Amino acid sequence: MSPRFCIACGTELRPREVDGRSRQVCPECGRVSWENPVPAAAVVVRRAREVLLCRRIIEPYAGQWTLPAGYQEVDESIESTAVREVREETGLVVRLTGLIDVFTTPDDPRKPSILVVYEAEEADGELVPGEECSEVAWASLDALPRDIGFANNRIVLERLRKGETRTW
Ligand SMILES: [Zn+2]
């Protein structure tokens, strides 16, 4: 979904070749509308063989279970994003314990993103579903709900179920 107007001066953008591909460029001020994936973080909060899942009430994947996750704000580190999203969506304060994987995510219809998946343990707080969830619950890796949203969430959980790890 490309922008139509220049965010600097409001002029209608026109396609022009820049750095080897067609990009939306402002004919007035020359500003290029660079389009890049957005960084996001997801967290596997673990309690032995249980993981913390949220049931979403917003699209995409409304009604399905997902790992707590969200987009990085411009003024925070990706680690802070991970901790903040868990707190907002589940009420728990967590401590990150490892990096599980990094995905280029094609199945988020809102925008292309890079999903950094962390592992974490709970440190404080109590379970309270956030505004974007109807429920938060611990789920056993051996009895996961069938309706898990996002392909990368399913990949991560299946790997953890089998005891496979991937470290970078
Ligand atoms: Zn402009």
For the chain, the first-to-last Cα distance in angstroms comes to 32
Q: 53 pairs with which residues across the strands?
A: 137
Q: What is the mean pLDDT of residues 59-82?
A: 97
Helices then strands, each counted (H, E), the chain: 2, 10
Secondary structure element (H or E) that encloses residue 87, with its range = helix 78-90
Taking the domains of the chain in order of start, what are their residue ranges? 1-35, 38-161
Residue 167 has pLDDT above 70, yes or no: no
Residue 1 has pLDDT above 90, yes or no: no
C-beta separation of 157 from 145 below 8 A: no
User: What is the topology classification, in CATH, of domain 1-35?
Assistant: Ubiquitin Ligase Nedd4; Chain: W; (2.20.70)
Q: What is the mean pLDDT of residues 4-15?
A: 96
**Ligand 1 centroid vs 144 CA: distance in angstroms?**
50
**Residue 136 backbone class (left: φ over 0; alpha: ψ -120 to 50; beta: rest):** beta
Q: Give 82-96 pLDDT, tens digit per residue.
A: 999 999 999 999 999
- Report CA torsion sign: 130, 133, 136, 142: negative
Q: Give 112-166 pLDDT, tens digit per residue.
A: 999 999 999 999 999 999 999 999 999 999 999 999 999 999 999 999 999 987 6
Give the whole-angstrom CA distance, residue 128 versus residue 92: 8
Q: What is the DSSP letter of 5?
A: B
**Ligand 1 centroid vs 15 CA: distance in angstroms?**
13
Q: Give 123-132 pLDDT, tens digit per residue.
A: 999 999 999 9
**Ligand 1 centroid vs 9 CA: distance in angstroms?**
4
List CB contacts of 133: < 8 A, sequence separation 6 or more.
54, 55, 56, 57, 89, 90
**Ligand 1 centroid vs 89 CA: distance in angstroms?**
38
If you classify domain 38-161 with CATH, what class do you get?
alpha beta
